[in-house]
Structure 1
Amino acid sequence: MPPKAPYQHRNPIVRYALFSIGWISFVLGMIGLLLPVVPTSPFLLLSAACFLRSSPRFYVWLTEHPWWGRYICYFLDGQGIPRRIKVLILCMLWIMILSSAFLIVKIMWVSVTMMVIAAAVSIYIVRLPEPQE
């Protein structure tokens, strides 16, 4: 169930701009599933926010999607991320960052920066609340 009732913005220019931004951020979020540097969750949340005011149909599709809809709703409602998903996110994050830092990136300060950013993201994720499922 979507956390908020979607509606279309009255101004068609704003509506089409939000719709376009929503799809661009959705595509970037899907790319983020494969690339360690590109985040997934912020882009999916941005998509939900854009679709909320531009396309009720796509907002409902996104928030009721079987793979990520429930988690978007949890986050939008302020309930956080389930523990199982936190563990999955952290494992994938560190596998991708460490493999990139040690196998691909040859500049030491870039590798260290990547690991510092991963540590900060990890702290943020761990501190998020966990919903009662």
Structure 2
Amino acid sequence: MKILFWRSLVIIFVTLGFIGALLPGMPTTVFLILAAWAASKGWPQMDAWLLNHPRYGAVLRAWRENGTVPRKAKWLASIMMLISAVIMLFTHAPLLVKIFTDCSMLIVAIWLWMRPEPVAVQVTAESES
């Protein structure tokens, strides 16, 4: 039953990540990080697949090893949250919902920019020999 729970979470998070890859304003990497976390608890094959994925694997491994987020991902997430916040202001949602949503995205953006960035590996002529 526990494995079914973790695998269900993986499927949900991967699905949300896939939707995020298609829709602006919805994150991809965050859901894939959550999917990798859930997969590590009960689906080793999916965990390995996510960590070795050609597009997202390096980001997921960097997050797992050092909690780092690439600058490009920070910019994309921040821009999408800003666009979503502005769109939210023009909806018919209650004012408290607008304030809560926009403040939540601001807090996430601040937290995101406080995360370290991966260190670029520099290859020099000395290290190659």
Which blocks of at least 5 consecutive residues in structure 1 are unaligned? Answer: 1-12
Task: Identify the match of residue 108 of structure 2 among 109, 112, 121.
Answer: 121
Percent identical pairs in the alignment equals 27
Aligned-residue offset at 1:111 = 1.8
Q: Does 1:107 align with 2:88?
A: no
Q: Does 1:62 align with 2:42?
A: no
Written as runs of structure 1 = structure 2, the 5 A alignment for 1:69-84 is: 69-84=57-72
What SS does structure 2 have at the residue aligned with 1:77?
A: helix
Aligned to 1:17: 5
Aligned-residue offset at 1:48 = 0.8
Q: Which has the higher contact order (CA 8 A, sep 6+)?
A: 1
Bigger Rg, which one: 2
What SS does structure 1 have at the residue aligned with 2:66?
A: coil
TM, length-normalised to structure 1: 0.74
Aligned to 1:7: none
- Aligned residue pair count: 119
What do the CA deviations read for 1:45-104 (whole angstroms, capped 9, x no partner)? 2211222233322112111222222111111112410112111111111112211222x2
Structure 1 CA distance, aligned partners of 2:5 and 2:96? Answer: 38
Aligned to 2:31: 43
Which blocks of at least 5 consecutive residues in structure 2 are unaligned? Answer: 121-129
Indicate if the aligned counterparts of 1:29 and 1:43 stay in contact, CA closer than 8 A: yes
* Bigger helix share: 2
How large is the RMSD of aligned CA atoms in angstroms? 2.2
